[in-house]
Chain A
């Protein structure tokens, strides 16, 4: 069975602090995709990144960076120099290529990030 765990329910930081959101996943498949989404108060899910299981290179995009470690089944997300606009709920998600390759996403419970001015 596939599962995504985001152990941090809520995180509160002060603006300009760095913050890391943790994500641990479980899957029996050797080929899969991992995602991060942002859900601001308006409710839409905003795509941040997709990573396939064969690409363990870390990625940086502006103030965002992602650390994928297959050995620990983790895909952590770091925001550097956080800003108030980063306040949102962040979801980690898994999509495997089993089950007929349906592409369905399995989401974690989400981490609510509050960045205070």
Chain B
């Protein structure tokens, strides 16, 4: 089974520029998560999708971050404009279902963003 694919692997941008990250979850996984991991901290949930609907985006800074999941498969996370504090690893994860009994969480390798 192929894993969760993310691209790009690394990205360096200047502050106030925009950037987009892409995630392709495991085939058939209905639930998709984006986490932000700042250096030295644990990952923090930004947004969760169930198919193509948003389940939880309470931690997403909506003034600059946006995300979509077209057709309930691939997802894109965008930052516009970027700030220095957005420097982090952005992890995508997918899971087959949403309920407690379907816990097969799989993380991608992440995109490391550096804002200078």
A interface, CB within 8 angstroms of B: 4, 31, 33, 35, 42-45, 47, 50, 52, 91, 93, 95, 97, 99-110
Total contacting residues, chain B, CB less than 8 A: 27
B interface, CB within 8 angstroms of A: 31, 33, 35, 40-45, 48, 55-56, 89, 91, 93, 95, 98-100, 103, 105-110, 112
Which residue of chain B has its CB nearest to the CB of A110? Answer: B42
Q: When chains A and B are docked, how far (Å) is the Cα of A104 from the Cα of B45?
A: 7
Contact of B100 among A101, A107, A109 (CB under 8 A): A101
Contact of B42 among A33, A99, A101, A107 (CB under 8 A): A107
**Given A47-B105, A102-B98, CB of A107 within 8 Å of CB of B91:** no
Q: When chains A and B are docked, how far (Å) is the Cα of A31 from the Cα of B108?
A: 27
| Binding site secondary structure of chain A | loop
Chain B residue contacts of A45, Cβ below 8 A: 43, 91, 93, 107
Q: When chains A and B are docked, how far (Å) is the Cα of A46 from the Cα of B100?
A: 20
Report yes or no: A103 in contact with B42, Cβ–Cβ below 8 A: no
**Nearest 8 A/B pairs, CB to CB:** A107-B42, A45-B107, A104-B45, A44-B109, A107-B43, A102-B56, A43-B110, A91-B42
**Given A33-B100, A42-B109, A44-B107, CB of A107 within 8 Å of CB of B89:** no
Q: When chains A and B are docked, how far (Å) is the Cα of A108 from the Cα of B37?
A: 11
Report yes or no: B112 in contact with A43, Cβ–Cβ below 8 A: yes
Output the least CB separation between B47 and chain A (Å): 10
Q: When chains A and B are docked, how far (Å) is the Cα of A22 from the Cα of B29?
A: 32
Chain B residue contacts of A47, Cβ below 8 A: 105-106
Output the least CB separation between B88 and chain A (Å): 12
Contact of B110 among A35, A44, A109, A110 (CB under 8 A): A44
**Given A43-B89, A45-B91, A97-B100, CB of A105 within 8 Å of CB of B105:** yes
